[in-house]
Structure 1
Amino acid sequence: MYKGIAASSGVAIGRAHIIKKEIEVKKYKVENAKEEIDRLDRAISITKDEIEKIKDASVNTIGEKIAKVFEAHLMILEDVEFINSIKNRIYDDKINAEYAVKLVSHEYAQIFLNMENEYFKERASDIKDVGNRIINILSGSNNNSIANIPEKCIIVADDITPSETAQMNKELVLGVATNLGGKTSHAAIIARTLEIPAVLGLGNITDVVKEGDILILDGDEGIIVVNPDDETVKRYKEKQQKINDEKSELLKYKNIIVNKNGRLIEIAANIGRKEEVDLAIKYGADGIGLFRTEFLYMDKETLPTEDEQFEAYKYVLEKMDGKPVIIRTLDIGGDKHLPYLNLEKEQNPFLGLRAIRLCLNRIDLFKTQLRAILRASVYGNLKIMFPMISGLEELRKAKGILKEAEEELSFQDIKYSKDYKLGIMIEVPSAAIISDILAKEVDFFSIGTNDLIQYTLAVDRMNQNVSYLYEPSHPSILRLIKIVIDNAHREGIWVGMCGEMASDLSMTETLFEMGLDEFSVSPPMILNLKKKLGGTYEGN
Structure 2
Amino acid sequence: MFVLEPQHVHMNQSAKDKAEALECLANILVQDQLVKADYLSGLHAREAQSATYLGQGIAIPHGTPQSREFILETGIRLAHFPKGVVWDGENTVYLAVVIAAKSDEHLQVLQILTRALSQDVSDQVQHAKNAAQIIEILQAQPETLVLHENLIETQIQVTDIDDFLWSANKLLKQQKLVEAGFISQLDPKNLIQIQDTLWSISAKNYVSQSAVSIVKADQTIDFKNGQIQTLICIAQHEQLDYQQLQRLLDLLFQPQIQQQLNDQHNRQDIAKLVGAETIPDWPSQRIVLANAHGLHARPATQLVNITKTYQGEIRVAVDDGQFISAKSLTKLLAMGCKYGQTLTFIAEPDTDAVEGLSKIIQAVQQGLGEEVEAIEHKIDSQQTNTLEFEEEITTPTTGIPASTGLAFGPAHVIKPKHFQYERFGNNVKAEKEKLEIALHSVKNTLHQLIAKTEANEIKQIFMAHLEMLDDPDLIQQVHQSLNQNLSAPAAWHQYIEKAAQAQAALPDRLLAERAADLRDIGDKVLAVLCNEVAAQEPEQPYILIMHDVGPSDVARLNKDRVAGILTAVGGASAHSAIVARALGIPAIVGASDAVLNITPHTTVLINGDTGAFEINPSQAQIDDAIQERELQQQRRHEAEQHCHEPAITLDQHQVEVAANLGKILDTEKAVNYGAEAIGLLRTELVFMAHRQAPDEDVQEKEYRHVLDTLAGRPLVVRTLDVGGDKPLPYLPIDAEENPFLGVRGIRLTLRKPQLLRQQLTALVRAADDRPLRIMFPMVGRIEEWRAAKAILDEVLLKHPCPNLEVGIMIEVPSAALIAPLLAKEVDFFSIGTNDLTQYTLAIDRGHPVLSGEADGLHPSILMLIDQTVRAAHAQQKWVGVCGELAADPKAVPVLLGLGVDELSMSASSIPLVKAQIRQLNFADCQQLAQQALKCESAFAVRSFVEQTHG
TM-score of the superposed pair, with normalisation by structure 2: 0.45
Cα displacement string for residues 400-453 of structure 1 (whole angstroms, at most 9, x for unaligned residues): 423555789x8xxxxxx94662320373357642467426xxxx4234274998
Work out whether 1:70 is the aligned partner of 2:454. Answer: no
Report SS of the residue matched to 2:629.
helix
Partner residue, 1:422: 805
In structure 1, C-alpha distance between the alignment counterparts of 2:835 and 2:479, rounded to whole Å: 53
The alignment of Structure 1 onto Structure 2 pairs a total of residues equal to 499
Pick aligned residue for 1:129 from 517, 520, 545: 520
CA separation of 1:363 and 1:155: change in aligned 2, threshold 3 A = same
- Post-superposition offset of 1:331: 4.3
- Of 570, 579, 584, the residue aligned with 1:181 is 570
After superposition, the Cα gap between the structure-2 partners of 1:183 and 1:292, relative to the gap in structure 1 and judged at 3 Å, is same
SS in 1 for 2:455: helix
Among residues 41, 46, 51, which one is paired with 2:446 in the alignment?
A: 51
Q: Is the CA contact 1:386–1:424 (under 8 Å) kept in the aligned structure 2?
A: yes
Shift of 1:19: 4.1
Does 2:474 align with 1:82?
yes
1:392: how far off?
A: 7.7
Judged with a 3 Å threshold, the aligned counterparts in structure 2 of structure 1 residues 5 and 275 are, in CA distance, closer, same or farther, namely farther
Q: Of the candidates 660, 666, 675, which is equivalent to residue 285 of structure 1?
A: 675
Residues 55 and 383 of structure 1: is their aligned pair in 2 closer, same or farther, counting only changes over 3 Å? farther
Contact 2:499–2:518 at 8 Å: present in 1 too? Answer: no
- 1:15 equivalent among 391, 401, 410: 410
Select 1:101's aligned residue among 486, 489, 511: 489
Contact residue 447 and residue 499 of structure 1 kept, 8 A: no
**Pairing partner for 1:506 from 881, 884, 893:** 893
| Structure-2 residue corresponding to 1:521 | 905
Question: How far off is 1:320 after superposition?
Answer: 4.1
Partner of 1:194: 583
Distance in 1 between the 2:760 and 2:534 partners?
A: 46
Deviation at 1:327, TM superposition (A): 0.8
Counterpart-to-counterpart distance in 2, 1:343 and 1:423: 31
Measured against aligned partners, the alpha-carbon deviations of 1:141-173 in whole angstroms (never above 9, x if no partner) come to: 764856xx6442222223221222234443332
Counterpart of 1:369 in structure 2: which amino acid? Q
Tell me which of 614, 618, 636 is aligned to 1:229: 618
| C-alpha deviation, 1:534, in angstroms | 3.3
Deviations 1:439-487 (A, max 9, x none): 6xxxx423427499889xx954749799954162x5x864652452353
Specify the code of the residue in structure 2 equivalent to 1:15: P
Equivalent residue letter for 2:401: A
1:187 Cα deviation after fit: 0.8
Aligned position for 2:875: 487
Q: Which moved more, 1:42-51 or 1:173-182?
A: 42-51
Please give the alpha-carbon distance, in whole angstroms, between the structure 1 residues aligned to 2:834 and 2:568: 32
2:601 counterpart letter in structure 1 = G
Letter in 2 for 1:159: D
In structure 2, runs of 5+ residues without a counterpart are 1-394, 845-852, 920-950
Alpha carbons of structure 1 residues 508 and 436: separation in structure 2 relative to 1, 3 Å: closer
Match of 1:446 among 815, 823, 829: 829
CA distance in 2, matches of 1:158, 1:41: 29
SS of equivalent to 2:548: coil
Counting only pairs closer than 5 Å after superposition, residues 251-330 of structure 1 correspond to structure 2 as: 251-258=640-647, 265-272=655-662, 277=667, 280-281=670-671, 283-294=673-684, 305-306=694-695, 313=703, 316-317=706-707, 320=710, 322-330=712-720
Question: Can you list the C-alpha shifts for 1:66-121, whole angstroms capped at 9, x where unaligned?
Answer: 643334322321233432444455565385xxxx1354225422452375335565
TM-fit CA distance, 1:267 = 1.3
Contact 2:830 2:880 in 1 (8 A): yes
1:163 matched to 2:587? The reply is no
CA RMSD for the aligned pairs? 4.7
Sequence identity (%):
26
CA contact (8 A) 2:567 2:589 kept: yes
CA, structure 1 residues 44+426, in 2 after alignment: closer, same or farther (shift >3 Å)? closer
Determine the structure 1 residue equivalent to 2:455.
61
Give distance in 1, aligned partners of 2:743 and 2:426.
Answer: 57
CA shift for structure 1 position 268: 0.7
Change beyond 3 A, Cα 1:368–1:69: farther
The alignment partner of 1:341 has SS state of coil
Trace 1:107-118 onto structure 2 (pairs within 5 A).
107-113=495-501, 116-117=505-506
After alignment, is 117-126 or 189-198 more displaced?
117-126
Q: State the match for 1:534 in structure 2.
A: 918
CA distance in 2, matches of 1:285, 1:231: 39
Task: Choose between structure 1 and 2 for higher RCO, CA contacts under 8 A separated by at least 6 residues.
Answer: 1
Q: Structure 1 CA distance, aligned partners of 2:700 and 2:805? A: 18
Q: Distance in 1 between matches of 2:658 and 2:840?
A: 28
Instruction: State the 1:61 CA deviation.
Output: 1.0
Which deviates further from its counterpart, 7-16 or 224-233? 224-233
Deviation at 1:285, TM superposition (A): 1.3
**Helix, strand or coil for the counterpart of 2:875?**
helix
Which residue identity is paired with 2:605?
Answer: I
Match of 1:362 in 2: 752
Correspondence for 2:638: 249
Partner of 1:413: none
Give secondary structure in 2 for the equivalent of 1:171: coil
Distance 2:737 2:644 in 1: 47
1:256 is paired with a residue of what secondary structure?
coil
8 A contact 1:447–1:496 mirrored in 2: yes
Q: Which amino acid aligns with 2:914?
A: K
Cα deviation digits, residues 265-284 of structure 1 (max 9, x gap): 53112345657657634532
Shift of the 430–48 alpha-carbon distance from structure 1 to 2, 3 Å rule, reads: same
Q: CA deviation at 1:288?
A: 1.0
8 Å Cα contact 1:318-1:379 kept in structure 2? no
Distance 1:407 1:433 in 2: 28
CA distance in 2, matches of 1:481, 1:381: 22
> Distance between the aligned counterparts of 2:429 and 2:670, measured in 1?
52
> d(CA) in 2 for partners of 1:184 and 1:465?
15
Whether the 8 Å contact between 1:19 and 1:157 is mirrored in structure 2 is yes
SS at match of 1:289: strand
Distance in 2, matches of 1:391 and 1:139, equals 53
TM superposition shift of 1:32? 6.5
Aligned partner of residue 342 in structure 1, secondary structure: coil
Within a 5 Å distance, the mapping from 1:379-398 to structure 2 comes to 382-387=772-777, 395=785, 397-398=787-788
Q: Equivalents in 2 of 1:218, 1:451: separation in Å?
A: 22
Structure 1: distance between partners of 2:630 and 2:494: 43
1:10 deviates by 2.3
Corresponding residue SS for 1:488:
coil
